[in-house]
Chain A
Amino acid sequence: MKRAAMFLGAVLALGLLVWAQNPLLINGAGATFPNPIYSKWFDVYHQKNANTQFNYQPVGSGAGIRQVTDGTVDFGATDGPMSDEQLKAYQDKRGSAILHFPTVLGAVVPTYNVQGVTGALNFTPEALAGIYLGKITKWNDPAIAGANKGVSLPAQDIVVVHRSDGSGTTYIWTDYLSKISDEWKSKVNRSTSVNWPVGLGGKGNEGVTGLVKQTPDSIGYVELIYAVQNNIPYGTVKNSAGSFIKADLASVTAAAAGAAKEMPADFRVSITNASGKTAYPISSFTWLLIPSKIQDGAKRDAIKAFLKWMLADGQAYNEPLSYAKLPKEVVEKELKAINQVQ
């Protein structure tokens, strides 16, 4: 027994062991989509400012919104902007407003596994909506074949795959479908989780990818980074200007540039189906949620300093990780908005 007690004592002491200087710990929670770039930014920032630690955890946009409203974290992050009710709930609970700051751009792409098809398929908005509504059921349907002349599509049933877990990716995808299809908007609409008319649910990007890879004649949607990093074939989508665009950093930034001019003051905007000849139609911002009133002076200064850094030097780290940079106009507006944090 004595031996056990000593052992326990040693391990308990271990818990108190690491006590260096007392760095400032700032906790944030939210979207999983930007986690790679955020972890890069916070790491680089910590190396330049050894006394500040930003601890970000990708627990999900909804959880992030809830936790920043509860006050259990210092900032949040979300792929879909907060709704008016959520803004009001925050205001009621905390007595001040919460601010949105766009950080990076991302895109959602259609991925598929069709027997005999090796190149990139072209998808029209009508085709995508029809497939996901369950009205277009075979791969050789004219709506798909018409955009892919010269490709021989099998007469097989389409197996539809979507996300089962609530996610910003789903929000972006359904937001796009709602814009280009009235039927989708009235039947399903947009949200992080929807009542899908057809299809299997895969958990996370890797769940969808796994299902698509293993199920012949299937289609799914995943984040661009995911497709790029894992070498998954994905198709082009026809944008509002009529061109079939493949998602990449340039086409995503083009989508944001179009929206930049009419950016509302609170930065809550959807840029799916954006105008612009080279714009990729299923793109989106992702936001940091910063309280407008921060009691702790040290935390407030650190957060403001980080935001300034992120908008300037931070953006240089985006593209190597397949995230698109913010357009210049948006950056300028945000720099001014930082002053609202008090």
Chain B
Amino acid sequence: MATANPTLQSPGPTVGSRSFFAKLKEGDEIARLVTFVFAASVVLITLLLVYELWVNSVLPRQKFGLSFFVTQVWDPVMDEYGALPFVYGTLVTSVVALLIAVPLGIGASIFLAELAPPRISDTLQFFIDLLAAVPSVIYGLLGIFTVVPLMRTVIYPALNKPLGFLPIFKGPSYGVGFLTAGIVLAIMVIPYIISVSREVLLSVPRDQREAALALGSTRWESTWKVVVPFARTGIMGSIFLALARALGETMAVTMVIGNTPKISASLFAPGYSIAAVIANEFTEATGDLYLQSLIGLGLVLFLLTFVLNGLARILIIVTTQKGSKVAN
């Protein structure tokens, strides 16, 4: 990943140190300042968001403290709130979604970037981009009408009969549950992976491919061992996008996850996610502790994203150092 090219200063008529105003006149400094302001504003907005969430969730922090993270109860009548079942559901559904979407998405992007003729690739890309525009609520409704029955009649028997001894495939299925939500989420995030990965793959210089082929590799080998690693950071970026979308998705998930705040090992069991419970209960929540507990959940999700992103980044650094370095 190319970071800045800081060594390339603008060549001017005078060399050596110039005053601030001289640099300003040359336009580069203005460009630097202006773009800096915009980049900084992103950080500022994020900080402001965290601040707002923090300030508006003070009541549950006072009342529950750290136990908010590990309590399993969610009782609006008794005013007892705990985040654990929702954190669990968010993690499980997002992981399932990525496990499905990443291989499919990368595979499809390889096909579109390397194999398909340009016209077909472009046309198909148009349509795949449209998938990203389908409103969440439509995904949810389609999930109820198609994925849920599919789960009950096809997927559940196929997995439970042979593999039912595994804890993740145990128990009855109502059609809704972690796996169903994961499947619906996978469909929703695939366009991001395909779209961005395809563009990144297309921007890999042709000579990389040709060099590998000239050395006698098969088409697949040149793609998988040379082109894809070259595009690795961009592809990882697209996976980050997909992960973020999966973590924060509300409507579609709440329609197919079963909305039961319980932790279960089985993927067929109904569950709940942070974004889903906020979407379900925020508009009706009355009572300050209730409302602020929901906002507190929003903060927890923020933390979760923070941690997951950090872990993923560490993973990238570790594998990049271990694996071969690709010249830029």
Cα distance, A195 to B82, chains bound together (Å): 12
- Cβ-defined partner of A203 (8 Å) among B77, B145, B259: B259
Cα distance, A190 to B270, chains bound together (Å): 24
Give the number of residue pairs across the A-B interface with Cβ within 8 Å.
96
- Cβ-defined partner of B280 (8 Å) among A166, A195, A200: A166
Pairwise interchain contact B284-A193, C-beta atoms closer than 8 A:
yes
Given A63-B284, A166-B281, A211-B176 in contact, is the A200-B78 Cβ separation under 8 Å?
Answer: no
- Cβ-defined partner of A164 (8 Å) among B76, B254, B286, B287: B254
What is the chain A residue whose CB lies nearest that of B140?
A203
Pairwise interchain contact B77-A191, C-beta atoms closer than 8 A:
yes
Q: Which residues of B contact A207 (CB under 8 A)?
A: 144, 255
Asked if B74 is an interface residue, CB under 8 A from chain A, the answer is yes
Asked if A314 is an interface residue, CB under 8 A from chain B, the answer is no
Cα distance, A167 to B284, chains bound together (Å): 7
- Cβ-defined partner of A192 (8 Å) among B74, B144, B148, B286: B286
Asked if A262 is an interface residue, CB under 8 A from chain B, the answer is no
Given A191-B77, A199-B260, A200-B270 in contact, is the A66-B174 Cβ separation under 8 Å?
Answer: no
Pairwise interchain contact B255-A203, C-beta atoms closer than 8 A:
yes
Pairwise interchain contact B283-A63, C-beta atoms closer than 8 A:
yes
Asked if A248 is an interface residue, CB under 8 A from chain B, the answer is no
Asked if B175 is an interface residue, CB under 8 A from chain A, the answer is yes
CB distance from A60 to the nearest CB of B (A): 3
Q: Which residues of B contact A199 (CB under 8 A)?
A: 260
Cα distance, A164 to B275, chains bound together (Å): 13
What is the chain A residue whose CB lies nearest that of B74?
A195
Cα distance, A59 to B287, chains bound together (Å): 17
CB distance from B27 to the nearest CB of A (A): 19
Cα distance, A306 to B283, chains bound together (Å): 26
CB distance from A209 to the nearest CB of B (A): 10
What is the chain B residue whose CB lies nearest that of A86?
B286
Cα distance, A271 to B221, chains bound together (Å): 73
Pairwise interchain contact A195-B75, C-beta atoms closer than 8 A:
yes
Q: Which residues of B contact A211 (CB under 8 A)?
A: 174-176
Q: Which residues of A contact B74 (CB under 8 A)?
A: 195
Pairwise interchain contact B260-A188, C-beta atoms closer than 8 A:
no
| Interface residues as binary, B282-316 with A (CB distance below 8 Å gives 1, 0 otherwise) | 11111100000000000000000000000000000
Q: Which residues of A contact B281 (CB under 8 A)?
A: 165-166, 193
Cα distance, A81 to B276, chains bound together (Å): 26
Given A194-B76, A214-B148 in contact, is the A200-B284 Cβ separation under 8 Å?
Answer: no
Asked if A83 is an interface residue, CB under 8 A from chain B, the answer is yes
Cα distance, A190 to B75, chains bound together (Å): 11
User: Can you list 10 pairs linking A and B with CB atoms under 8 Å apart?
Assistant: A59-B283, A62-B282, A164-B259, A165-B279, A195-B77, A195-B78, A201-B258, A203-B255, A214-B152, A215-B175
Interface residues of B (CB under 8 A from A): 73-78, 80, 140-141, 144-145, 148-149, 152, 174-176, 254-255, 258-260, 270, 272, 276, 279-287
Interface residues of A (CB under 8 A from B): 59-63, 65-66, 83, 85-86, 159, 164-167, 188-195, 199-203, 206-207, 210-211, 214-215
Q: 6 closest Cβ contacts across the A-B interface?
A: A166-B284, A201-B259, A60-B283, A164-B259, A62-B284, A195-B75
